[in-house]
Chains A and B, each alone.
With several copies, the nearest count.
Chain A
Amino acid sequence: MAPTASANDEVELPLDLDLNDEQRQLQDATRGFLSRHYPLGDARAILESDREADPEGWRRAAEMGWIAVLADEDAGGLGFSPSTATVISSELGRAVNWTPFLGSALSVAALGPAAGGDDRAAGVMEALIAGETVAAWCGPEPRGDGWGADSVRTEAVEAGDGFVLYGEKYLVADADLADELVVAARVDGELRSFVVPAEAEGVEITVSRTLDLTRRFATVRLNGVRVTAGDAVGEAGTADAAFGRTLDLAIVLVAADAVGAAEKLLELTVEYAADRIAFQRPIASYQAVKHMCADMLLKVEASRAASRYAALTLEADSAERARAVAVAGGYVSGAAAEIAGDALQIHGGVGFTWEHDLHLFLRRIKVDQALFGDTRQHREQLVGLLT
């Protein structure tokens, strides 16, 4: 995707922060697919139980290109396109969807360009693109000091011609359904990534109880897990860049997820306000409600632009990437959380019931807000770039 498009031979059009036609089609197709196969009512079944694997659904999703849009062409994908992936991620947020997209999407990015040549990684990549495998990225180890590569303390101890992994990964998205784990670990202090079967001996996966009732996050313990040299991803020395790229993708996808959920909340709220009568008038006619909704729209527009722009800079590996990702991370989920709060305030009592869908969005946004760095960490990043 070109960053600028020519309207005529002489005039360069600026960067378009709305979707292009192709992405708009993808959006429509994804929205249709999700409403047919994953209607919101079905979510109710998993709110308080484990998720079950859905190989058929996952294969269909893969056929729509969910994973291929993040895989390089060399590796059998459609080219690394975070901006396209954000379209999908936003639709998942809008639908409070529970498929294991995030874990697999991040794993593809973590396997990275290396997967083009690398046997083990290439195999996993191929299976992911085809929807035959679900994977989870066991990258960051947030302990209160951020989600960056610095947070990785898991060790890969050399043993024979392979390694033994020791460590603990928190809040790993989709580990409960994963067949493969892409694990970041340190070999003598240096970062490397390894592909580890979720069933491998020494791997212990415990699903966390979180605010989010549709997605699942888990603690993954690596209690001396043996891997071969062939399970290592890419050449030594490439892992830091791949980690950074994957983390940035994670920030962008989570922001897009929050945008989708927030946008849906705004629609639900405007609709509710038009129907709800108080003091003999629809509450939509009260200026306090109107102004709250106006601010919600402002935040949705700004959030969408911020997540899309960050995705485009990541896609182009632009010099603006660090700044744009920090802006998306530092703005979007906070704005979405404010939108969720306003939505609940305008809905009043009915939005406070378990049976109403509102809290599913509220909870999802609240989790998006904490994943892969909070507002505070992103703001600090941005200041670091300024000073």
Chain B
Amino acid sequence: MKLADDAELDRFRNEVREFLDSEAPDIPVRAGFRSPENEAENLVRKRWRARLYEAGYLGADWPVEWGGSGKWNPVHDLIISEEVARAGLPPLTDQTHLAAFALIRFGTEEQKARFLPAIRDGSETWCQLFSEPDAGSDLAAMRTEAKPLEEGGYLVNGQKVWSSNAAWADWGFLLARSDTSLDRHRGISAFIVPMDAPGLEIRPLREITGTEDFSEVFMEDVAISGDSLLGEREQGWKVAMESLGAERSGIGAGGARLRQLLEMTVELAETENEAGGRPIESSDVRQKIGEIATEIEINNLLVQLKLGRELRGAERPSDVPIGKLVFSELNLAMAEFALELQGSSSILVEGDPRVLQGGRWQDEFLYARTYTVAGGASEIMRNIIAERALGMPREQRG
């Protein structure tokens, strides 16, 4: 997405691309946000994260005292995200990234000093303990309690779910009720919890993709200290919502990912099948690819639009939900179409000798619904657009 040649940005993009080409480690290419498959991969990822901070491709927007560059350029972040996606590397806006944002924005000086350097040097990673079995799209329905103790500190009881990277993380960014007399989002505080705390049990969840990318986390009388509070008491909702906004710097990743998938689709359509035909020669296939390519450009334009507004401080309440809807529904449609294109081979998966493109599309297809559900289902996104951007009535509570 560019209008005219911009020498500086092109130079920067080339620099990033060369860096990734020469230094990026070998991490399995799969759909979406995936957890390491084993300890070796976890270590590779940690080292890679440290290298990205070191090279200034991550954390340029941090305060200078904590290692930021002092001259952060959001367009550079966009380019980095795009190139990372293009290279098939794990997205940068992971749980650790989110925690770093929260620490910088809401942490005490002590917390920053304790945690930020360990994020930069890759030694520690984080996970997010937000969703619960009965609080998904309706996060404010959460029930996990962090009971304040008279002697200071809190006692945490409850269950979290859909925690990505939990099985590997050192620290958890936890939301829990510190005041159960307050309703819904009003009684919630944010905490930092060590993932090896006594009473905290992590059970990796296997998903329909067959891999284990999320975990359930059970907490039974987990004692945490008073200084593990992140932000003010009962201000946890604000801490969480603003941190979720930090995903903004991953803004370009989706578009770059889709373009990469489009290249795979075109390759698939151009491949001669055993009967000697090439799908790309059929106008129905061409039309469908044209439609997808159009939607990808639309997705990228909306990213651009949103970024422009953010930088001018002119965000609209519809920007985030529109971006999520367009990306997630297009991502799903692309996986469905690629399977159609594969015809009878579409049923084969990774590991079969006749599978096409390594089974990537089958994994994409199974994973795709994560995007239309996680972080607020599409239905919630449409509600937000209608209510906040168009001023339509809110849904009645039961």
Direct contact of A and B (CB under 8 A): yes
Complex CA gap A185/B396 in Å reads 64
List of B residues within 8 angstroms of A386 by Cβ: 262, 266, 289, 293
Cβ contact of A281, chosen from B275, B305, B390, B397, cutoff 8 A? B397
Q: Are B346 and A370 in contact (CB under 8 A)?
A: yes
Given contacts A376-B284, A379-B286, contact A352 B314 (CB under 8 A): no
Q: Are A17 and B301 in contact (CB under 8 A)?
A: yes
Which A residues from 118 to 157 make CB contacts under 8 A with B? Answer: 142-145, 147, 151
In the complex, whether B233 has a CB less than 8 A from a CB of chain A is no
Cβ contact of B389, chosen from A171, A287, A297, A356, cutoff 8 A? A297
The interface residues of chain A, by DSSP majority, are classed as helix
B1 to chain A, nearest CB (A): 7
Complex CA gap A160/B325 in Å reads 64
List of B residues within 8 angstroms of A278 by Cβ: 136-138, 141
List of B residues within 8 angstroms of A337 by Cβ: 336
List of A residues within 8 angstroms of B266 by Cβ: 386-387
In the complex, whether A45 has a CB less than 8 A from a CB of chain B is no
In the complex, whether B15 has a CB less than 8 A from a CB of chain A is no
In the complex, whether B24 has a CB less than 8 A from a CB of chain A is no
Cβ contact of B366, chosen from A305, A319, A323, A359, cutoff 8 A? A359
Residues 293-332 of chain A, each 1 if its beta carbon lies under 8 Å from chain B, else 0: 1110110011001100100110010111001101100110
Cβ contact of B322, chosen from A291, A297, A318, A320, cutoff 8 A? A297
Complex CA gap A275/B389 in Å reads 18
Which A residues from 337 to 387 make CB contacts under 8 A with B? Answer: 337, 341, 344-345, 348-356, 358-359, 362, 366-367, 369-371, 374-376, 378-383, 386-387
Q: Are A18 and B348 in contact (CB under 8 A)?
A: no
B386 to chain A, nearest CB (A): 4
Complex CA gap A8/B228 in Å reads 38
Residues 20-47 of chain A, each 1 if its beta carbon lies under 8 Å from chain B, else 0: 0000000000000000000000000000
Complex CA gap A356/B161 in Å reads 15
A371 to chain B, nearest CB (A): 8
Q: Are B305 and A18 in contact (CB under 8 A)?
A: yes
Q: Are B352 and A210 in contact (CB under 8 A)?
A: yes
The interface residues of chain B, by DSSP majority, are classed as helix
Given contacts A147-B344, A341-B369, contact A208 B78 (CB under 8 A): no
In the complex, whether B11 has a CB less than 8 A from a CB of chain A is no
Complex CA gap A273/B390 in Å reads 11
A137 to chain B, nearest CB (A): 15
Question: For residue B381, which residue of chain A has the nearest CB?
Answer: A294
Residues 199-228 of chain A, each 1 if its beta carbon lies under 8 Å from chain B, else 0: 000000010111110000101000000000
In the complex, whether B152 has a CB less than 8 A from a CB of chain A is no
Question: For residue A4, which residue of chain B has the nearest CB?
Answer: B6
Cβ contact of A12, chosen from B72, B75, B138, B205, cutoff 8 A? B75
Interface residues on B, range: 35 or more
Q: Are B351 and A306 in contact (CB under 8 A)?
A: no
Can you identify 25 A-B contacts, CB atoms within 8 angstroms?
A3-B4, A3-B6, A144-B275, A170-B354, A210-B348, A211-B349, A211-B362, A273-B392, A278-B136, A279-B398, A287-B379, A294-B385, A297-B390, A302-B298, A324-B297, A330-B291, A337-B336, A345-B369, A349-B373, A351-B208, A371-B344, A378-B290, A379-B287, A382-B293, A383-B286
Complex CA gap A95/B262 in Å reads 37
B289 to chain A, nearest CB (A): 5
In the complex, whether A274 has a CB less than 8 A from a CB of chain B is yes
Q: Are A284 and B392 in contact (CB under 8 A)?
A: yes
Cβ contact of A330, chosen from B290, B372, B381, cutoff 8 A? B290
In the complex, whether A280 has a CB less than 8 A from a CB of chain B is yes
Q: Are A12 and B73 in contact (CB under 8 A)?
A: yes
Q: Are B354 and A16 in contact (CB under 8 A)?
A: no
